[in-house]
Structure 1
């Protein structure tokens, strides 16, 4: 929600500089740049120090930065950009560490279900961010109030984290009755070398990068595309000056929430059932969903000038198929990486996914659109067609992502066996009561189904 709140507020500083091309995306790379620089640091800390304390620090940082940014005068735009960057730093702590905590609390089917619940709130949060930003800006007439409401929710999250969430030993849930001794404490560089030799991790990371590329482009440009499509159909008057009608942010936000909930649950449940008969189920499901999402996105773009209803339907199907993978790819990472460096693995996957994915895709879409528009008559229809055609590369990228997950399936079983062998030691727990205390506050570890 925090990252997408400004996306739904047409009066926010998001389109600084005006225009319909790349100039609309200036503040977003500041957030991404800070997140990318911070993710490896939090991954390192998460593998070696208290994860609960690190998560608490991250929430305080992004909450405080978001609240303070709502009081910054327009004369100090650099300070606003800095505060958005600090929000990215706080987000990095949660993105890298929270999945590893869940991985140490649950195993196998239970882990898949819990990750599904966790990752539901990526698309749901993004959608609610659009809705909240748009609704608050409409009600108050000031986009800053959207940033002032969020810290209330974050305070509740911090209290629940401190009171209810344990900080389990790394690898605690991997095997009942066995404590994880792992290898001797390795350096960060040794962890990185291990990860880049792990082909399941490498190919799945490239698949996630393709997903991030498309979701980043959709998250920024889809509301504008939907607005212009309705103008082309004569349902709205053209808008040549910001702010424009914000109803499309609400529509896209609602689509993201609904398809996100259904998609994450569908993907996780399909994975849980299918991997009982096929050990390569997880990457195959990811590949199938992305390969099916590519034509859906293509049809949503191509049909927009002729039939708006069909465009909305295929856009919703594409988002649904993309959402199927969020929990599944996290489960893949946790199963192929040894517990000692899962935080670093999450950090590297986030870093690569953002650098090659959503950090550049909004810029690229804007640049392509501007380049196409430069050689055409300056009409509203041609502007819409330029944006439509710039989106077509997303269908190609998402198909490449499906191919990356097919390659992941080739190495999955080998890397899972190596992670299980390297990640668990042979120190048997002496008594049943000690076994129950393996994860503080949770009783006996979950039994394998």
Structure 2
């Protein structure tokens, strides 16, 4: 079946496309089932190859996330090796993320204008080399470690900025959320595997944390090779039946994106999620270790291997909670959307408000019952992870296809710079200030970090409010994004599908 515009109407649309006239949303023959319009042929990529591309991108995303949380799992050993306190250790995150978000802006500009696959391949190759080299840094050279972490962040941003826009171009709207959920489930899965691998390898090798960092580079190189061989660059806007490109400058693109209030509020809400995940993910092993010392009245750890079973348990719970949360969020939003077009931000908002309660109580009970803490963290993580894929989809569909990579970069800059880049440093700083009230008390060492982490619950509540605010503007912004932009050139409006 061939989808087409009637002669005069087609010519009129072609003439008006560069003047900002919007394309009709029903660009198929009357009576045709929209579900039969298969995107991959539109993009020149088969359905099978699109799925393979998605799985490769999800795999690489898993490896990069896993590498980050291997570092969190071995944090007690690293602190001992580098001889740093809580506040100084928080610099690791802010140096990495600072470089990450600044580089993302460059990749966002290039991603809307250049071949994204090759940019990601070069970036991840550099990432693999730097990650491997980091594992050989001497214990006393903390400054060198920070410099290389900055380079690592700049390289990793190439993939994280561009990969979601590739997926956006590969799948039609009704499939896009589910496909993004497969990509984003790598976040909790990578987080959990990072804890498990980091703790297991370090424990098996008598506290030598360097070996744990040598696993991700090998896995990453495999991903790069698969990407070169099997992943093809899709046409921008192909999912929307139009292949177009922007004629304006980067500043003009940023100006248009900043007018999308639903995008801004969604980005702010996502920032609070990253703040919380970054803080808890970074400090959870140390916090649980201090809680166990209080509960079991154990002496401070004097050996290389210290209670790594807590990292293992936390990692497993994070994997399971993340998978349940991401999948549940997408499915709930999809069904709720049949009754309310604002379902996406509403599910995100109410999920976060519920998560704040469970996380607060979990942290409060840590020195009373670790079992209760694990159960409550598990529930809180499920509710928090519900918004990962949904929020990523929102930030794409409220923006014109020709600006989505730039929008992704802008969102990443905000969410990471004010989220997980600074949250470990802030939490570590609060903990250090509170600890000064009693420097030699094991109980107060635990309390200082407990009070600091409790602040995350209030940040989550703030994030829930941002998502609810986003729901007031999402319908209008989405309608505008579906129109052809006045500053874009339309290359193809006639689509043939099998």
Q: TM-score, normalised by structure 1?
A: 0.90
What is the CA RMSD across the aligned residues, in angstroms? 2.1
Name the counterpart of 1:194.
256
Distance 2:382 2:390 in 1: 14
Moved more, 272-281 or 329-338: 272-281
| Shift, 1:321, TM fit | 1.1
Name the counterpart of 1:110.
175
SS of 2:328's partner is helix
Mapped contact 1:14–1:27 kept (Cα < 8 A): no
Change (3 A) 1:16 1:365: farther
Q: Structure 2 matches for 1:13-24, cutoff 5 A?
A: 13-14=78-79, 18=83, 20-24=85-89
Residue among 330, 348, 362 paired with 2:410: 348
Q: Structure 2 matches for 1:5-154, cutoff 5 A?
A: 5-10=70-75, 12-14=77-79, 18=83, 20-74=85-139, 76-141=141-206, 142-154=208-220
Name the counterpart of 2:67.
2
- 1:415 maps to 2:481: no
Name the counterpart of 2:436.
374
Per-residue deviation, residues 416-437 of structure 1 (Å, max 9, x unmatched): 000001359876655xxx635x
SS of 1:181's partner is strand
Distance 2:386 2:260 in 1: 24
Q: Structure 2 matches for 1:257-272, cutoff 5 A?
A: 257-272=319-334
Distance 1:181 1:99 in 2: 18
Change (3 A) 1:305 1:11: closer
Name the counterpart of 1:316.
378
Change (3 A) 1:239 1:67: same
Per-residue deviation, residues 125-150 of structure 1 (Å, max 9, x unmatched): 12111211121122233222222222
Change (3 A) 1:246 1:20: farther
SS of 1:4's partner is helix
Distance 1:17 1:79 in 2: 11
Mapped contact 1:16–1:26 kept (Cα < 8 A): no
Residue among 359, 362, 368 paired with 2:424: 362
Name the counterpart of 1:327.
389
SS of 2:483's partner is helix
Name the counterpart of 1:447.
none
Name the counterpart of 2:349.
287
Name the counterpart of 1:440.
none
Moved more, 251-260 or 208-217: 251-260
Mapped contact 1:10–1:134 kept (Cα < 8 A): no
Residue among 211, 234, 238 paired with 1:172: 238
Mapped contact 1:30–1:84 kept (Cα < 8 A): yes
Change (3 A) 1:234 1:351: same
Mapped contact 2:96–2:421 kept (Cα < 8 A): no
SS of 1:143's partner is coil
SS of 2:224's partner is helix
Per-residue deviation, residues 248-293 of structure 1 (Å, max 9, x unmatched): 2212211211111111111111122221221101000000110000
Change (3 A) 1:435 1:14: farther
Distance 1:377 1:219 in 2: 25
| Shift, 1:308, TM fit | 2.3
Distance 1:256 1:72 in 2: 29
Aligned pairs, number: 430
Distance 2:421 2:76 in 1: 22
Mapped contact 2:342–2:474 kept (Cα < 8 A): yes
Moved more, 94-103 or 23-32: 23-32
Distance 1:154 1:242 in 2: 29
Distance 1:205 1:98 in 2: 18
Name the counterpart of 1:441.
none
SS of 1:49's partner is coil
Name the counterpart of 2:229.
163
Name the counterpart of 1:404.
466
| Shift, 1:398, TM fit | 0.2
| Shift, 1:60, TM fit | 0.4
Q: Which runs of 5+ in 2 are unaligned?
A: 1-65
Per-residue deviation, residues 360-398 of structure 1 (Å, max 9, x unmatched): 111111221222222247311122112111112111110
Distance 2:101 2:393 in 1: 22
Name the counterpart of 1:274.
336
Name the counterpart of 1:435.
496
| Shift, 1:332, TM fit | 0.2
Mapped contact 1:199–1:408 kept (Cα < 8 A): yes
Name the counterpart of 1:252.
314
Residue among 291, 295, 301 paired with 1:229: 291
Moved more, 151-160 or 37-46: 151-160
Distance 1:367 1:242 in 2: 25
Distance 1:38 1:378 in 2: 42
Distance 2:391 2:415 in 1: 12
Mapped contact 1:282–1:332 kept (Cα < 8 A): yes
